[in-house]
Each structure stands twice: as C-alpha cells, then as structure tokens.
Structure 1
Amino acid sequence: MLDNAITLLLLLSTLVASSLATTARVLIYSATADFRHDSIPTAIQALQSKQSSFGIQFENTEDKAQFTDQILAQYDALLFLDNTGEVLDDSGKAAFQKYLNLGGNYIGIHAASDCLRNTTFYGNEVGAFFDYHPALQNATVDVIDASHPSTSMLPAQWHVQDEMYNFKTDPRAIGATVILSANESSYVDTGTHLGQGTPHPTGNSSNLVPAAQLNENILLAWFQEHGAGVEDNGSSGRSFYTSLGHLNETWQDELFLAHVFGGITWTLQSNTTLAFNASAQVGNPVASTSNSTSSSSTSMLPTPSSSPSAMISCPSIDKFSVKFMIVSVIVAACFPWLLRL
C-alpha cells in the first residue's frame, strides 16, 4: 500500500509541476530621449524582485535596435517604463506596429504616455498622451473599478504621493475603461485641462477651464481589452496603463507593486500570445512548446544581448487551482485509503 501511495504522490507531483510550465516573457523598455526619471533602476529592480510570486520572465533594454520583428516576436508583452521623447526610429515603430497586429500585449507605466508623441498608433495603444502635471504632492486616488486585478487590493480612497497626470485626450474615446482617478479636491492644480472629456472640457480653446475651478476626477489608470493601436486587419492583444510611479519610494511600496503586477498579469491573460495559446503568433516560444500537445518544433530566436534579466517563476493561479481541484477529487474518489495514511 505504501508503494502505491508513493507512486500516486509522484504522479501528483508531476501533474503539479506541469502546471508550473507556463512562463510569460516581458520586455521592459526604458529608453528616454527627454526627461529621465531617476527611479527607473529602482522600478526595474522592484519588478525583478517579485520572482517568487509571478510566472514571468522579465528582460530589459534601452537599445532601440532590439525593436525588430524577430526579437519582439519572442515576447508576450512589451512594458514601456518612463519613456520620454522619440525613443524609436521608423524601423522600430514598424516592428512595434507589427507586433501589436499579431496579438502582442502592451503595458505602459508613468511617463510611458510622454514618448512617441507624434505616432498615432502608439497614442491609441497607450490610450492618451501626457499633457502636464502639477507639483508632486499628496493626493487621494479614487478606485473607479474595484473588480479589476490591478485595483481589487486597493482601498476605495488610496492616499499617495505622486504626480497627478493630465492628458491631451480622453482615453475612453478609443475604448479604454478607466479604473483609477485622482480627486482634484485633494490637491492643488493651477494648470489648465485639455481634452479629457466628461467631466472635463472637450479640448477646444473656448472650453479650457483652470483646474482650480474644477472639483472633479482626473483619469489616472485604465485598460483596453483590445488595444486600439492595432491596424484594421490586426489581431489585438490587451493594453494596460497606469500614470503612477514617479518616485523611488513608490516602487518600494508593496501596495503600488500589487497594483502594477495586477495590471501586468491581467494583460498577459489576453490569450493572444504563446505563453497561454500555442496557436498564437508571438510570445515565449519555450512556453508554447511545453504547453502544446503537438510535436511541432520551435526555432530559437535571438535574445537581446544587452538586457539584464530576471526569471520569475510561480504557478499560474487559475490553471494550478483547476488542476489541483481535479486531482484532489480523483484521489478522494478512487483512493480513499490514501487519505487515512
């Protein structure tokens, strides 16, 4: 009986191990051409430090030459971190556009809305371009949608010290769903809003209103189930953007990191990349091979040579839970004696 129990336990461990095979690959791109945040290294380290908690392989680069069709095709998401200015050339933009068209996912953090300002598809993918922000100060962030994985852990009114971004357009106009906003009554903003839609002015000069006269909510974070940066014939992945993340201290705050990782994991669950869909056209080819039931081979693609990386491995919660429940039911039904050991 003991031998049978050991055999069964080995079988169970094999099943559990198979649920850990999925690893999503994310490229962090932190190149800057204008203002540079000194919190970028801290942010990268903070993302890497969660290696025991998330099934993600992070790699980072600031080399725009890495934006080629072949290299981008290896990633399940591109994470733009605090980018400013013209951080891609025309060939890089074309590769980025193709990546999105093939189902690639996008994540933008903080100043990611202040780069590639004249590139229409990028503005649509991030949701809106940065306009200005008032002085760094304490503010109250309101959770608009507490059901999203990036907000479910947050208090209804989240008190933060950060830059409250204003944007040139309303991200809801291209299909984004707003999940966080900043209550303007909680901080001082003497600037002039431009084009953020209801409840804000529409953006033409006759409707500009000083922020001090408003008692409304500024949009801070949103998501797109289907990223709007995709061309008409493309197959869109997901897009997530949060404007928070200015300070080094912010990236050392576990609640903020939970917000960011909630957005990242939600984005990766688009089912449009190889980490979770063996028939996808972009994503981690290793994950595709391990998860596929076919015997098709996957060629090895070049890896950015200048990119420090961190392997982050843990079970995919949904898949692990389902498999564990199924195995538990089988054990209880077919091997009740094992429970008495």
Structure 2
Amino acid sequence: MYILLRYIALGLASILYVGAQRSAPRVLIYSATAAYRHDSIPTAIRVLKENGASINTTFDATEDRTFFTDSNLKSYDAIVFLSNTGEVLDDYGKAALENYFNSGGNFVGIHSASDSLRNTTFFVRQLGAKFDYHPELQEATVDVIAPSHPSTNTLPQAWKVRDEMYNFESDPRSLGAVVVLSADESSYTDTRERKFDQGTPHPLAWYQEHAAGVDARSGTAGRSFYTSLGHLNETWEDSVFLGHVLGGISWALQSNTTRAFNSSGLVGNAGSSSANGGESGTTPGSSSNP
C-alpha cells in the first residue's frame, strides 16, 4: 500500500508540474572524474534518463569538459554534477559554469560531486560544502528533518540505507542552506577523528533557495540541491532513493529563473524539443575512494 500511495503522489505531482510550466525543462548530467571513479555512474545516468518523463524533464549527459561553453550551457535549466571527483573542468569551463550560475541556472550535486573542483570558490559555495571523509560503507539510519520538501516527502522518517555517511569541511547552513537529511551517528561506526565543524545535526542532503555561488552584486541566483547519497549501483535501482533524487531535481527546476518557467530567463530550454544526449569521454580514476 505504501508503494502504491507513493506512486500516486508522484503521479499527481507530475501532472501539476506539467500544467505549470512553459516548456519541458532540459537538464545536463556531467559525470566526468579526475580521481576515484564510481562504477555506479552509468547506472545512475541510465536510471535518470529512463525516469525523466516522470518529472517531464529531458536529461542529456556528457563527460566532455570542452562542452562547457556559454553557448552550450545556456540551453539547460539545470546542471547535475554526478559523482565527480577532482579537477573536472579547466579554467574556460569553470568560467562558463560561473556565467551559467550568474544567469539564473540551477544546480544539483550528487554524492562525490562535493569532492570535485575543491579549490573553486564559487562552485564550493554553490554546492554548499567540501567533502572531508567517510567511514566504511555500512548500513546506517538517515533521519528526515525536513519532511515537507519534495526530496524527502516520500521517505520514511528514519530511513535505513547502505551507503557512505559523508563528513564535510564546513556547515552548509553557514551559507544559508537548509538541511533535509541528517545521519544518525549512533547507527553506524566511525573510528576517525573529525577535524572540521560541519554543524549539528550531521548534514547529508540540503538545498539553497538562492544558491550562494552566485555574484550577489550582478547575478541572478537559481536554486541548488545536494545529496551525499548514491554510492552503489543497487542504490540507484531503489525506487525510494530515486524519489529522493528526482524530488530534489524537480524542486531545483522550479526556481522560476530559467526558461522552462520564465520566458524572460537568460538560460534554459526555450522550447519543448529535446536534444540527443549520451555518455562521452569516460575515463578511469585513481584508487582513492571518496
């Protein structure tokens, strides 16, 4: 019964979403890696593309850093950084991404995206915090502390998952982020000593209504959503986790700063036609594990 009710709720949300928008949002998944590479990346891309219709969204995917130009990015309503690690953009790509954010573009980060572009200030602020470390992969309890958000409103209050409980170098709340998921630290084992204050309760997923990576003097801030979960292939095949991710993406898209909802937007899909997308340029990473 719970599964049935959950899908009814998602279906109703999808109907409302279609009725409200001007054109179908278009989202770019960027999954390039320059260090450790998660073998769940192809599964994640496939699952997101297969389920894009449930939020009336077209997903394209690339790992080509040269794709990051002003002209290419301006047709997207959101950019998803998926399990990236290391320096995955050069200076030209970073400049295009910063311009995109300053033009109202929305951002979603998933899993080890918080361990990429670590020295790029606007990116770290847009995401909310840098990855520090995680204890051994194990089962843990994740607490829903913002149950009314689209990324959490279908989750159990105490959600048991097998994943990596990330720790961060700062508290995303210091940038104005609202934490929606926290780790129940009594439910798993962590033998390392923390060097940074990430705030309480332990943040695992959060959102920013006005993303902090945007130039407050001249930019238009879109939305930002980040979840640290998503390490395993099995996780991406789980409908509960997928509801969490799709809920976060659909929330970010409804910022009213891009063309899918606002005809005056500077970036986003100006029409309902979709483009072909696919994986490109995949390269293996190193053996360190974020």
TM-score, with normalisation over the residues of structure 1?
Answer: 0.74
Please state how far the C-alpha of 1:198 moved relative to its aligned partner. Answer: 3.5
Distance 2:41 2:199 in 1: 33
Please state how far the C-alpha of 1:192 moved relative to its aligned partner. Answer: 1.9
Alignment correspondent of 1:187: 188
Please state how far the C-alpha of 1:42 moved relative to its aligned partner. Answer: 0.3
Please state how far the C-alpha of 1:48 moved relative to its aligned partner. Answer: 1.2
State how 1:243-322 maps to structure 2 within 5 Å.
243-287=228-272, 307-308=277-278
Could you tell me which runs of 5 or more consecutive residues in structure 1 were left unpaired when the two chains were aligned.
1-16, 200-216, 291-299, 310-341
Query: Are the equivalent residues in 1 in contact too, given 2:170–2:199 (CA < 8 A)?
Result: no
Alignment correspondent of 2:7: none
Query: Are the equivalent residues in 1 in contact too, given 2:163–2:230 (CA < 8 A)?
Result: yes
Query: Are the equivalent residues in 1 in contact too, given 2:23–2:270 (CA < 8 A)?
Result: no
Distance 1:283 1:22 in 2: 10
Runs of 4+ in 1 over 4 A off after TM superposition: 17-21
Which residue, out of 224, 242, 245, partners 2:227? 242
2:208 pairs with 1:224: yes
Q: Secondary structure at the match of 1:131?
A: strand
Distance 1:88 1:251 in 2: 25
Q: Deviations over 1:279-333 (max 9, x none)?
A: 110000214xx9xxxxxxxxx9xx6x8x328xxxxxxxxxxxxxxxxxxxxxxxx
State how 1:124-163 maps to structure 2 within 5 Å.
124-163=125-164
Distance 1:18 1:270 in 2: 16
Identity between Structure 1 and Structure 2 (%):
59
Please state how far the C-alpha of 1:49 moved relative to its aligned partner. Answer: 1.4
Distance 2:210 2:52 in 1: 28
Distance 2:133 2:119 in 1: 16
TM-score, with normalisation over the residues of structure 2?
Answer: 0.86
Aligned length: 261
Q: Deviations over 1:199-234 (max 9, x none)?
A: 3xxxxxxxxxxxxxxxxx421000000000101210
Please state how far the C-alpha of 1:191 moved relative to its aligned partner. Answer: 1.2
Query: 1:20/1:263 Cα in 2 relative to 1: closer, same or farther (>3 Å)?
Result: closer
Alignment correspondent of 1:70: 71
Query: Are the equivalent residues in 2 in contact too, given 1:148–1:179 (CA < 8 A)?
Result: yes
Query: 1:270/1:20 Cα in 2 relative to 1: closer, same or farther (>3 Å)?
Result: closer
Q: Secondary structure at the match of 1:43?
A: helix
Query: Are the equivalent residues in 2 in contact too, given 1:169–1:194 (CA < 8 A)?
Result: no
Query: 1:192/1:89 Cα in 2 relative to 1: closer, same or farther (>3 Å)?
Result: same
Distance 1:18 1:163 in 2: 37
Query: Are the equivalent residues in 2 in contact too, given 1:22–1:55 (CA < 8 A)?
Result: no
Query: 1:65/1:146 Cα in 2 relative to 1: closer, same or farther (>3 Å)?
Result: same
Query: Are the equivalent residues in 1 in contact too, given 2:168–2:198 (CA < 8 A)?
Result: no
Distance 1:196 1:272 in 2: 33
